[in-house]
C-alpha cells in the first residue's frame, strides 16, 4: 500500500511554517549511512514519502524525499522524469534485497534530470530516515518559533517607546537583517531603518510599494519580488492612510512573513488616524495582548457589551481564500476582524463582536454564498480560545454534512440541569482513558450519527482510520458503542470538554 511514512505539513500547526530541511543536514547524520551518488548537492526537504509504485506521481505533493527499493522499477528515465515533474526534492534508493547496487541507469537519469539520488544502505530502515527528518524538522520549527517569539517581544517593546514608529522600523530591520521603510502611497519615505539597498533595488522596492498602496479598489494587501540577490516585500497598512511597509532583505526565511505581519499590525495601530472611543479601546486591547497581557486583563477595554462569536470559514469550491476574499467575507458579516494569513488549506477565522449580526448568526443560520461556515455560540472574551476550537469543530461538521453553516448551540435542555462543575468532573473521569485524538474522533463520529464516511471527511482521514479509532475508544472505555444509552452518556460527557 502506498502511504507516507512521515508527513510534516508546513501548515499543520499554528505559527510560522516549518522551515525546509537542507539535504546536507540529513546527509550529515552519520548513523544513517546515506551517500549522495548523483544529482546536485543542494535540496530542501519538506516531507518523507515511501512508495514502491511504478509511478508515484499522483501521490506526491512536491518537496518530498521519496524512498524506494525499486521493486517495480523498469524504466529509470521515465521514473525520474515523473518524480521531477511532481516536484520531488530527492530520491533515496535502498539497496538489497531487490537490487544489489543502485542501477546505473537510475544514476544517469538522476544526473540528467538534476534530482539528488541517495544510496540507502541495507542496515538503515526507511522509517529511521523518516524519524531523522522529523527530528530535524522539529528542531528547525523550535528554532523558528523561538526566533518569532523574540521578534514579537522586541517589536512590542519598541511600540511602547516614546517614538514608536521609528523604533518598530528599527527593530524590524534588525530582526530581518535588512531595510524597513514606511512609505506613502506616492512613494515618499516617512521613516526608514536599516542598511539602504543599491539604487536599483531601492527603485524596485518603491515600485512594489505602489502596487499595494490602497489608492484604487482591488489593490492587493501584500506583494513580493526579487531584484538581483535582494528579496523585496510590501504590505499595505490599515487605517485608510495609504501607508505601506516595504522591506528589502538579503535572504528570506520562513518566519519573516510572520515577523513582518506583527509589525504591520503594530504600525497600522500606531499610524491610524483619530479613532472613536470604542475603536481606540479595542486597539489598545490588541496592543496589550501583543505585549503579553491575558484576555482577562484586556476584557474591560473591549467594553461591557459582550459577547463574541468565533467563525471558521472555507470556500465551498475548495479554493484558497486570499486576503481580499476573506476581507469581503468579514465585511458581509459586519466585522474587520479577519484572519486569513494562516497558510494554504487552513480556514479563515472571523471574530464577530457584539451586535445584531452576531445575534442573527446565533438565532438563525444565514448562508454566505460560496462559503461553508462553522460558528461558536456567543461567548465572553475570556473564553475565546475555547470558542475557537468549537468553531473549528462546527466547520468540520458543516463540511461533512454539506451544510452551509453549523452553529454550536450552548448547553440547554436536560443537560443544563446538571451543575457545570459536576458535569465537567464526570466527563473527565469517564473520558480519562482516551487521548485527545481519540476523544475528538469520538465526538465527531457521534455528532455525525456514527457515519464513517462523513467523519472521515470532517477529520481529513481515511474511513478505516476512523473505524480503528472508534474501535479503540470502545476497548479503552469498555463499552458497546452500538448501545444508544452509551452513546448518549458519552455525547453528554464530550459536550463538557
Q: In three state form, how does the secondary structure of the chain look?
A: CCCCCECCCCCCCCCCCCCCEEHHHHHCCHHHCCEEEECCCCCEECEEEECCCCCCHHHCCCCEEEEECCCCCCCHHHHHHHHHHHCCCEEEEECCCCCCCCCHHHHHHHHHHCCCEEEECCCCCHHHHHHHHHHHHHHHHHHHHHHHHHHHHHHHHHHCCCCHHHHHHHHHHHHHCEEEEEECCCCCEEEEECCCCCHHHHHHHHHHHHHHCCCCCCCCCEEEEEECCEEEEEEECCCCCCCEEEEEECCCCCCHHHHHHHHHHHHHHHHCCCCCHHHHHHHHHHHHHHCCCCHHHHHHHHCCCCCEEEEEEEECCCCCCCHHHHHHHHHHHCCCCEECCCCCCCCEEEEECCCHHHHHHHHCCCCCCCEEEEECCCECHHHHHHHHHHHHHHHHHHHHHCCCEEECCCCCHHHHHCCHHHHHHHHHHHHCCCCHHHHHHHHHHHHCCCCHHHHHHHHCCCHHHHHHHHHHHHHHHCCCCCCHHHHHHHHHHHHCC
Res. 225: pLDDT tops 90: no
Q: How confident is the model at residue 23 (pLDDT cuts 50, 70, 90)?
A: very high
Res. 144: pLDDT tops 80: yes
Which of these, 99, 138, 122, lies nearest to 32 by C-alpha position? 122
Q: What distance in Å separates the CA atoms of residue 472 and residue 478, rounded to the nearest whole number?
A: 10
Q: How confident is the model at residue 180 (pLDDT cuts 50, 70, 90)?
A: very high
Q: Is the dihedral of CA 121, 124, 127, 130 positive or negative?
A: negative
Q: How confident is the model at residue 1 (pLDDT cuts 50, 70, 90)?
A: very low
Helices 436-447, 384-401: axis angle to 10 degrees equals 50
> What is the pLDDT at residue 35?
94
Stronger pLDDT, 160 or 92, i.e. the higher one: 92
pLDDT above 70 coverage of the chain, percent = 77
For the chain, the average pLDDT equals 79
Res. 7: pLDDT tops 60: no
Q: How confident is the model at residue 10 (pLDDT cuts 50, 70, 90)?
A: very low
Res. 293: pLDDT tops 70: no
Stronger pLDDT, 381 or 301, i.e. the higher one: 381
Q: How confident is the model at residue 13 (pLDDT cuts 50, 70, 90)?
A: very low
Q: Average pLDDT, stretch 132-153?
A: 87
> What is the pLDDT at residue 99?
92
Q: Average pLDDT, stretch 327-343?
A: 69
> What is the pLDDT at residue 458?
79
Angle, alpha carbons 343-252-158 (nearest 5°):
85
Res. 329: pLDDT tops 50: yes
Res. 427: pLDDT tops 90: no
> Which of 31-40, 96-105, 447-456 is predicted with the least confidence, judged by mean pLDDT?
447-456
> What is the pLDDT at residue 78?
95
pTM of the entire predicted model: 0.45
Write down the residue that cell numbers 450519527 correspond to. Answer: 449
Q: How confident is the model at residue 204 (pLDDT cuts 50, 70, 90)?
A: confident
Res. 349: pLDDT tops 60: yes
Q: Average pLDDT, stretch 396-413?
A: 72
Q: How confident is the model at residue 91 (pLDDT cuts 50, 70, 90)?
A: very high
Which of these, 94, 75, 95, 91, lies nearest to 83 by C-alpha position? 91
Res. 18: pLDDT tops 60: yes
Alpha-carbon 268 to chain mean position: 23
Res. 121: pLDDT tops 50: yes
> What is the pLDDT at residue 105?
95
Res. 142: pLDDT tops 60: yes
Quick count: other Cβ atoms within 10 Å of Cβ 313? 27
pLDDT above 90 coverage of the chain, percent = 22
> What is the pLDDT at residue 274?
41
Q: How far is CA 208 from CA 8, 199, 241, 366, in A?
A: 33, 14, 17, 39
Task: Determine contact, residues 394/375, Cβ cutoff 8 Å.
Answer: yes
> What is the pLDDT at residue 2?
38
> What is the pLDDT at residue 338?
77
Res. 102: pLDDT tops 90: yes
> Which of 50-59, 306-315, 353-362 is predicted with the least confidence, judged by mean pLDDT?
353-362
Stronger pLDDT, 339 or 238, i.e. the higher one: 339
Amino acid at each position: 500500500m502506498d502511504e507516507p511514512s512521515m508527513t510534516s505539513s508546513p501548515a499543520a500547526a499554528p505559527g510560522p511554517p516549518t522551515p525546509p530541511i537542507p539535504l546536507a543536514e540529513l546527509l550529515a547524520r552519520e548513523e544513517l549511512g546515506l551517500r549522495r551518488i548523483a544529482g546536485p548537492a543542494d535540496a530542501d526537504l519538506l516531507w518523507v514519502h515511501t512508495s514502491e509504485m511504478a509511478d508515484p506521481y499522483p501521490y506526491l505533493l512536491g518537496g518530498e524525499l521519496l524512498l524506494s527499493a525499486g521493486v517495480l522499477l523498469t524504466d529509470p528515465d521515465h521514473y525520474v522524469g515523473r518524480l521531477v515533474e511532481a516536484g520531488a526534492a530527492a530520491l533515496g534508493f535502498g539497496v538489497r534485497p531487490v537490487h544489489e547496487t543502485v542501477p546505473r541507469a537510475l544514476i544517469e537519469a538522476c544526473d540528467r534530470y538534476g534530482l539528488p539520488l541517495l544510496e540507502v544502505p541495507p542496515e538503515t530502515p526507511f522509517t529511521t530516515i523518516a524519524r531523522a527528518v522529523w527530528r530535524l524538522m522539529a528542531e528547525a520549527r523550535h528554532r523558528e518559533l523561538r526566533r518569532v517569539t523574540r521578534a514579537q517581544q522586541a517589536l512590542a517593546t519598541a511600540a511602547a517607546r516614546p517614538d514608536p514608529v521609528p523604533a518598530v522600523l528599527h527593530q524590524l530591520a534588525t530582526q530581518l537583517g535588512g531595510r524597513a521603510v514606511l512609505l506613502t502611497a506616492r512613494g515618499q519615505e516617512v521613516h526608514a531603518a536599516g542598511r539602504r539597498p543599491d539604487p536599483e533595488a531601492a527603485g524596485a522596492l518603491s515600485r512594489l510599494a505602489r502596487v499595494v498602496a490602497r489608492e484604487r479598489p482591488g489593490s492587493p494587501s501584500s506583494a513580493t519580488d526579487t531584484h538581483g540577490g535582494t528579496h523585496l516585500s510590501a504590505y499595505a497598512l490599515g487605517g485608510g492612510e495609504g501607508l505601506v511597509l516595504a522591506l528589502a532583505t538579503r535572504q528570506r526565511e520562513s518566519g519573516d512573513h510572520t515577523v513582518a505581519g506583527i509589525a504591520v499590525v503594530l504600525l497600522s495601530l500606531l499610524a491610524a488616524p483619530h479613532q472613536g472611543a470604542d475603536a481606540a479601546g479595542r486597539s489598545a486591547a490588541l496592543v496589550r495582548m501583543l505585549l503579553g497581557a491575558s484576555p482577562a486583563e484586556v476584557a474591560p477595554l473591549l467594553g461591557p457589551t459582550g459577547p463574541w462569536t468565533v467563525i471558521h470559514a472555507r470556500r465551498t469550491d475548495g479554493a484558497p481564500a486570499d486576503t481580499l476574499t476573506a476581507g469581503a467575507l468579514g465585511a458581509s458579516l459586519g466585522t474587520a476582524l479577519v484572519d486569513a494569513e494562516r497558510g494554504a488549506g487552513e480556514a479563515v477565522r472571523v471574530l464577530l463582536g457584539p451586535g445584531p449580526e452576531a445575534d442573527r448568526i446565533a438565532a438563525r443560520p444565514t448562508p454566505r454564498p460560496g462559503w461553508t461556515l462553522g460558528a461558536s455560540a456567543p461567548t465572553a472574551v475570556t473564553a475565546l480560545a475555547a470558542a475557537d476550537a468549537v468553531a473549528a469543530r462546527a466547520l468540520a461538521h458543516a463540511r461533512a454534512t454539506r451544510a452551509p453553516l453549523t452553529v454550536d448551540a450552548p448547553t440547554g435542555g436536560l443537560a443544563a440541569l446538571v451543575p457545570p462543575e459536576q458535569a465537567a468532573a464526570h466527563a473527565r473521569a469517564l473520558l480519562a482513558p482516551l487521548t485527545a485524538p481519540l476523544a475528538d474522533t469520538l465526538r465527531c463520529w457521534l455528532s455525525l450519527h456514527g457515519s464513517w464516511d462523513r467523519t472521515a471527511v470532517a477529520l481529513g482521514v481515511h474511513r478505516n482510520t476512523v473505524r480503528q479509532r472508534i474501535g479503540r475508544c470502545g476497548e479503552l472505555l469498555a463499552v458497546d458503542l452500538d448501545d444508544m444509552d452509551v452513546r448518549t452518556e458519552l455525547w453528554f460527557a464530550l459536550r463538557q470538554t
